[in-house]
């Protein structure tokens, strides 16, 4: 059963400007392992913008309750390249309260825009 669906977009240039303007913003939004590719290379801004959009979409899928922490949701990349989510803390508590048992995630970035869709399934 679908419990919630969220979608979000982020303008990549604007997101990059915010990261440049606000020292420490990346650490407030992302876990350290989200900032790097499996090769150890730092993720590009388009990839980070898509991950930020996924966290926004996740919040929407959960009904956008106040108090969710950005770092309580991790956007993962599976062995086959498929994105996924790992949740903890505030996000896991809200998901459990709603009966969420699994997540479906899609990320994209093109033409200066990053987007994400998150489906919460119970």
Tens digit of pLDDT for each residue in 17-41? 999 999 899 999 999 999 998 889 9
Residue 4 pLDDT? 98
63 forms beta bridges with none
Task: Report d(CA 12, CA 54) in Å as an integer.
Answer: 14
Residue 23 pLDDT? 86
Classify 122 as helix, strand or coil.
coil
The two structure tokens encoding residue 20? 């440049």
Residues 6+ apart with CB under 8 A from 17: none
Classify 86 as helix, strand or coil.
strand
Residue 71 pLDDT? 96
The two structure tokens encoding residue 112? 């200066």
Neighbours of 96 (CB within 10 A): 11
Which residues in the chain land under pLDDT 50?
none
Residue 60 pLDDT? 98
Cβ-contact 82, 108 below 8 angstroms = no
Task: Report d(CA 9, CA 82) in Å as an integer.
Answer: 19
């Amino acid at each position: 059963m679908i419990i919630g669906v969220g979608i979000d977009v982020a303008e990549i240039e604007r997101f990059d400007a915010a990261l440049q303007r606000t020292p420490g913003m990346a650490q407030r939004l992302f876990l350290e392992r989200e900032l790097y590719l499996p090769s150890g290379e730092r993720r590009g801004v388009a990839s980070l913008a898509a991950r930020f959009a996924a966290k926004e979409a996740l919040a929407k899928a959960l009904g956008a309750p106040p108090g969710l922490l950005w770092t309580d949701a991790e956007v993962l990349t599976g062995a086959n390249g498929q994105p996924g989510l790992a949740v903890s803390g505030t996000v896991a508590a809200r998901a459990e309260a709603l009966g969420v048992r699994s997540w479906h995630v899609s990320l994209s970035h093109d033409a200066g825009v990053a987007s994400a869709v998150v489906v919460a399934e119970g």
